[in-house]
């Protein structure tokens, strides 16, 4: 038996028809047990042995080094299994909010979702928000109540909590299976519709009233079933299963399954997925008809980098059949390329198992697509296709880095280009003002992952450094400056005298140069030299070391020497004159201010307002775009926003949406400005 199981685990399950495919995303908060459930499903289906490991010893989901060392999923993983002739692509998604882009990609690739909730922990606000999003998209859903072997609450208590947390109506959430206990230890479950026992036998936990309530809920949307039910007819399991499927697909009923980390619930969930969940042909979300004979259409779900294999693109097929050696078009944004499909594989843990083709509705891995990026559409060059992309959270946490050595610096640019192409949640910026290399990430865990991948995949070691925001300086009042350069060192010397007047200008004016020289005090050929010197000095700053902006500098007088004056001398004198004017005036430090928008449940509005006030923020107003939700707009200095994405997530339990955009520079408070002037 062990040999047969091992042999079976080396073969990738295949499907020749969309009707024999199910794509299911496991979603929920971190620690709910999604990855363990995915492994239990693989074990129950005979895809791996009891240890839940593939041939190379890694788990079927968390196989990256950082995942195993931190016991945390950082990317979606596909676990394909076969159950009763149906190929099930289990899409295991991360639970940490930093990797929300992976969750969105997983839901987009799937046709149904299984919400995994833990009986040991409360349902998080982020999980509730994700349920609402799935509800808006009419994604069929089921609930797995996990960790019943170490539960703090009973199965019935968890169902009540789910009902309240997800705002479900009467008869919407129903237990399809009930746990069977031996004392306090769950040993199996029992199906309410079929009366079948799973796992070890035990006393029936199901009352006739519980089953009758479920049957009534299933029959409620079907007139024929309801008539038979009201008439007292004993409905057969086949009719009830058909009714259950209709209810699930219509999102009017969400079945619940009990589970624990010993494997209870795995077979039950496989049964539910194959008999009650939608095939790809049911998908209604903006995709072409799911026809294996139709024009080729697919979408790149994610791109992974491997130090040995190279780039591997996970593709969801929507129409047609993808085969090796096919020339396809890849389109995304303003990119359009042609590539030849190499061998196809099926992902399973860290392994890639060869497959001959991928029909509409399936998920397949394609190696070495040089230009592929997540969201790209793959199609027949003669039949363009448009497919909606999924929303990607904006990366709002800045992390400035430097190469650890010169060798690391040389390799850094290419490595980051590859990571940015693979990870839609990462943005790489070479800041033109601070000259820092900045990684914009979704949170600290995401930043840690990017640095780890730089080290392990690309052999690049970097050091995080303090992120700087682009400060400026300006004159607070008009001032006059005198610059005199006189040097004699044998031969031609250097001689130039420049007198300027400086006036502040409105915000956004930049540096404006004018001249009012009379009598040829500064020869005409040297006036451009003065202007060049003014702009050069403004770029370096005149007092605090930050660039000077929003001033008008007027050349009013000066002196030249017939032999010793030069372009370089007048440039230097102009810089001296500008610094002299600053010494006789008040120079203000300007800080960038961001326009901030926060969407948050009203229960957290007070905490968010208080936090923004502590950050020197000015709240411009709040409104309510929908019941229970608040939208607030504020102006906040960017110096106060460095860790704001992390801290906002903490005070709102991960439910807030945050956006920022540069607004303007404005004077910094004097005490704070003095501190920054001292450190520059």
Structure tokens at 468: 């700087």
| Burial tier of 58 (Cβ tally within 10 Å: 0-12, 13-18, 19+) | middle
**Which one, of 97, 105, 64, lies nearest residue 303 by Cα?**
105
Give the model's pLDDT for residue 240: 85
β-strand partners of 287:
none
Tally Cβ neighbours within 10 Å of residue 440.
17
pLDDT tens by residue, 84-129: 999 999 999 999 889 999 999 999 999 999 999 999 999 988 899 8
CA–CA separation, 598 and 651 (whole Å): 13
The phi-psi region of residue 31 (left if phi > 0; otherwise alpha if psi is between -120 and 50; otherwise beta) is left
**Which one, of 597, 615, 573, lies nearest residue 487 by Cα?**
573
β-strand partners of 554:
501, 514
> Mean pLDDT of all residues in the chain?
89
Residue 74 has pLDDT above 70, yes or no: yes
CA–CA separation, 269 and 263 (whole Å): 11
Q: Which residues of 352-369 are buried (b: 16+ CB within 10 A; e: fewer)?
A: bbebebbbbbbbbbbbeb
Distances from the Cα of 365 to the Cα of 200, 326, 362, angstroms: 39, 14, 10
Instruction: Return the SS3 of 176.
Output: coil
What pTM did the predictor assign? Answer: 0.86
CA–CA separation, 151 and 183 (whole Å): 14
Q: Give, as one character, the DSSP assignment of residue 387.
A: -
Q: Which long-range contacts (CB under 8 A, 24 or more apart) does 380-386 make?
A: 380/295, 380/296, 380/297, 380/320, 380/328, 380/329, 381/327, 381/328, 381/329, 381/338, 383/295, 383/296, 383/297, 384/329, 384/331, 385/288, 385/295, 385/297, 385/318, 385/319
CB 32 within 8 A of CB 114: no
Distance, CA of 569 to chain centre: 54
**Which one, of 259, 248, 288, lies nearest residue 178 by Cα?**
259
- The full set of domains in the chain, from first to last, is 2-281 (3.40.50.300), 297-379 (2.40.30.10), 397-465 (3.30.70.870), 472-585 (3.30.230.10), 590-679 (3.30.70.240)
CA–CA separation, 435 and 57 (whole Å): 44
CB 546 within 8 A of CB 589: yes
Instruction: Return the SS3 of 10.
Output: coil
Residue keyed to tokens 């939608």 = 278
Of 222-226, 300-304, 643-647, where does mean pLDDT reach its minimum? 222-226
E strands, 120-252, in order = 141-146, 173-175, 177-182, 185-191, 197-199
Biggest distance spanned by C-alpha atoms of the chain? 118
**Which one, of 100, 89, 19, lies nearest residue 61 by Cα?**
89
CB 390 within 8 A of CB 110: no
Q: Which comes out higher in pLDDT, residue 570 or 62?
A: 570
Give the model's pLDDT for residue 65: 62
Give the model's pLDDT for residue 2: 36
**Which one, of 83, 102, 79, 140, lies nearest residue 280 by Cα?**
140
| 45-59: average pLDDT | 68
pLDDT tens by residue, 141-193: 999 999 999 988 899 999 999 999 999 988 899 999 999 988 888 999 999 88
pLDDT tens by residue, 480-527: 999 999 987 666 789 999 999 999 999 889 999 999 998 889 999 999
CA–CA separation, 617 and 599 (whole Å): 16
Structure tokens at 147: 């960790």
**Which one, of 482, 357, 406, lies nearest residue 17 by Cα?**
357
pLDDT tens by residue, 360-401: 999 999 998 988 999 999 999 999 998 988 888 889 999 999
Give DSSP secondary structure letters for 29-98: -TTS-HHHHHHHHHHHTTSS-TT-B-TTS-BSS--SHHHHHHT---S-EEEEEEETTEEEEEEE---SGG
Q: How many residues does the chain have?
A: 680
pLDDT tens by residue, 539-568: 999 988 899 999 999 999 999 998 889 999
Give the model's pLDDT for residue 348: 84
Distance, CA of 507 to chain centre: 35
| Burial tier of 449 (Cβ tally within 10 Å: 0-12, 13-18, 19+) | buried
């Amino acid at each position: 038996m062990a040999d047969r199981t091992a042999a079976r685990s080396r073969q990738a399950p295949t499907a020749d028809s969309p009707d024999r495919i199910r794509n299911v995303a496991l979603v929920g908060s971190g620690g709910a047990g999604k990855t363990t459930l995915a492994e239990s499903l693989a074990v129950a289906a005979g895809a791996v042995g009891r240890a839940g490991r593939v041939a190379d010893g890694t788990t079927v989901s968390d196989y990256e080094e950082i995942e195993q060392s931190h016991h945390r999923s950082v990317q979606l993983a596909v676990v394909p299994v076969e159950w009763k002739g149906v190929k099930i692509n289990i899409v295991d998604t991360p639970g940490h909010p930093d990797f929300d882009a992976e969750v969105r990609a997983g839901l987009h690739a799937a046709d149904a979702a299984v919400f995994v909730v833990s009986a040991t922990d409360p349902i998080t606000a982020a999980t509730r928000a994700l349920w609402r999003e799935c509800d808006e998209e009419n994604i069929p859903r089921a609930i797995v109540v996990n960790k019943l072997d170490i539960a703090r609450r009973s199965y019935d208590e968890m169902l009540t909590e789910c009902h309240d947390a997800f705002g479900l109506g009467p008869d919407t959430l129903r237990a399809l299976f009930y746990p069977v206990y031996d004392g306090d230890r769950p040993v199996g479950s029992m199906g309410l519709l079929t009366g079948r026992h799973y796992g070890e036998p035990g006393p029936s936990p199901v009352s006739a009233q519980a089953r009758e309530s479920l049957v009534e809920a299933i029959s409620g949307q079907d007139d024929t079933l309801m008539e038979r039910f009201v008439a007292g007819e004993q409905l057969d399991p086949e009719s009830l299963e058909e009714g259950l499927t209709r209810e699930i697909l219509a999102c009017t009923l969400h079945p619940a399954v009990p589970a624990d980390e010993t494997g209870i619930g795995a077979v039950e969930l496989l049964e539910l997925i194959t008999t009650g969940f939608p095939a790809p042909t049911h998908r209604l979300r903006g995709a072409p008809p799911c026809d294996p004979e139709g024009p080729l259409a697919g979408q790149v779900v994610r791109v992974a980098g491997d130090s040995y294999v190279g780039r591997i693109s996970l593709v969801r097929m929507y129409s047609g059949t993808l085969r090796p050696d096919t020339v396809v078009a890849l389109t995304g944004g303003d990119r359009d390329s042609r590539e030849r499909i190499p061998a196809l594989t099926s992902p399973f843990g860290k392994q890639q198992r060869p497959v001959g083709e991928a029909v509409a509705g399936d998920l397949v891995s394609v190696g070495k697509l040089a230009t592929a990026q997540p969201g790209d559409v793959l199609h027949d060059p003669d039949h363009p296709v448009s497919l909606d992309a999924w929303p990607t959270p904006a990366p709002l946490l800045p992390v400035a880095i430097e190469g650890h050595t010169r060798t690391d610096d040389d390799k850094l640019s290419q490595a980051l280009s590859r990571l940015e192409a693979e990870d839609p949640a990462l943005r790489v910026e070479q800041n033109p003002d601070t000259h820092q290399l900045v990684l914009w990430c979704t949170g600290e865990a995401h930043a840690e992952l990017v640095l780890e991948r730089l080290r392990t995949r690309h052999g690049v070691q970097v050091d995080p450094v303090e992120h700087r925001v682009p400060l400026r300086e300006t004159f607070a009042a008009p001032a006059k400056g005198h610059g005199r350069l006189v040097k004699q060192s044998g031969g031609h010397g250097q001689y130039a005298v420049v007198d300027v007047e400086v006036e502040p200008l409105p915000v956004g004016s930049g540096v404006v140069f004018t001249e009012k020289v009379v009598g040829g005090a500064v020869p005409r050929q040297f006036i451009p030299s003065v202007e060049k010197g003014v702009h050069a000095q403004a770029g370096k700053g005149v007092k605090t070391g930050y660039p000077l902006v929003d001033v008008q500098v007027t050349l009013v007088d000066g002196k030249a020497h017939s032999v010793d004056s030069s372009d370089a001398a007048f440039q230097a004198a102009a810089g001296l004159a500008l610094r002299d004017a600053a010494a006789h005036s008040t120079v203000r430090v300007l800080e960038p201010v961001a326009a901030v928008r926060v969407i948050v449940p009203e229960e957290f509005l007070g905490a968010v307002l208080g936090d923004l006030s502590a950050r020197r923020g000015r709240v411009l107003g709040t409104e309510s775009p929908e019941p229970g939700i608040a939208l607030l707009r504020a102006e906040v200095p960017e110096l106060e926003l460095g860790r704001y994405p992390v801290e906002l997530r903490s005070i709102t339990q991960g439910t807030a949406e945050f956006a920022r955009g540069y607004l303007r520079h404005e004077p910094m408070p004097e005490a704070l400005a003095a501190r920054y002037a001292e450190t520059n």
